[in-house]
Structure formats: structure tokens, C-alpha cells
Amino acid sequence: MNTSEVTYLGGLRTRAIHLKSGNEILTDAPVDNQGKGEAFSPTDLLATSLLSCMLTIIGIQAQNRNLMIGNVSGTVRKIMAENPRRVARIEISILFENHHLELEHQRQLEHAALNCPVAKSLDPKIEQVVKLNF
């Protein structure tokens, strides 16, 4: 079964539809690559999927271990390289607020995040810099 369907809308924009839920994502080429930058670029989604995967895996681990992780959020920064144009580095910062985690549990969650499926699927040439702030 297919995961999504993507249509080119013109003007360097695409629409992706998640086939199971019907949710949609628009993408635009970034301003530095002939686009309008009015939506996520495909490479923005790549970087964002890494953070989203890490937070999901943290949530699964916390749920399975009955851990009180509090409010968890993060930011992601993508750095591009040229020749060829590609994602060279992804910087992620994850913040845990109002948590009740012992040091051992913090280390377990960090290990889980760093080994999430997206992190393990990315080309090893993409530098992943991840900071968890407890």
C-alpha cells in the first residue's frame, strides 16, 4: 500500500496527500533555490522529519516505561552545501520542561532519540548535531 501521493502544482510547489488520513502538506522551493519559500521545502521536511521522529521515539519510550517527561519540544536547523546541493548538517535542540526524569532515564531517552529510524536512515555524510536539554 502506498504511503502518499504527490502532485506538482506548478510554480515550484507540490502537494503531498497522506493516503490513509487524507492530511496534506504543501512544499515550495526555498528562496535561495528559485522558490517562494511560502511552505516547507523538501529539505526542510527532511530535517523536520528527523526531529519529529526523535520526539516520537522519546514519547514511545516514555510511555512504555511510565516516565514523566513533562513538556517536550524542539527546534531544527538545516544547513545546505553546494556542489552538489544537499543537506550537509542538521542541528536539533530538544527541551524537556517540568519533567521528573532521573539521570539514567535521561540517558535512555537520549540514546533512543539518537537511534530513531530517521536518524539511522539518513546518509552518514549528513552531520547530525543533537542537544537534549533536561
Q: What is the pLDDT of residues 13-64, one digit of tens each?
A: 999 999 999 999 999 999 999 999 999 999 999 999 999 999 999 999 999 9
In a shared domain, residues 85 and 125: yes
In a shared domain, residues 111 and 50: yes
pTM over 0.85, yes/no: yes
In a shared domain, residues 87 and 55: yes
Beta-carbon contacts of 9 under 8 Å, excluding residues fewer than 6 positions away, are 15
In a shared domain, residues 16 and 54: no
Residues facing residue 31 across a β-bridge: none
In a shared domain, residues 128 and 65: yes
CATH code, domain carrying 109: 3.30.300.20
Q: Which domain holds residue 14?
A: 4-33
In a shared domain, residues 60 and 94: yes
* Exposure class string for 39-54: b at 16+ Cβ within 10 A, else e: bbbebbbbbbbbbebb
Residues facing residue 132 across a β-bridge: 94
Total of domains in the chain = 2
Other C-beta atoms lying within 10 Å of the C-beta of residue 92: 22
* Nearest by Cα to 12 from 121, 117, 33: 33
% residues pLDDT > 90 (the chain): 100
In a shared domain, residues 16 and 62: no
In a shared domain, residues 78 and 22: no
* Nearest by Cα to 113 from 98, 85, 93, 84: 93
In a shared domain, residues 90 and 122: yes
- Cα separations in angstroms, 110 against 17, 37, 51: 32, 32, 12
- Residue 60, helix vs strand vs coil: helix
In a shared domain, residues 108 and 128: yes
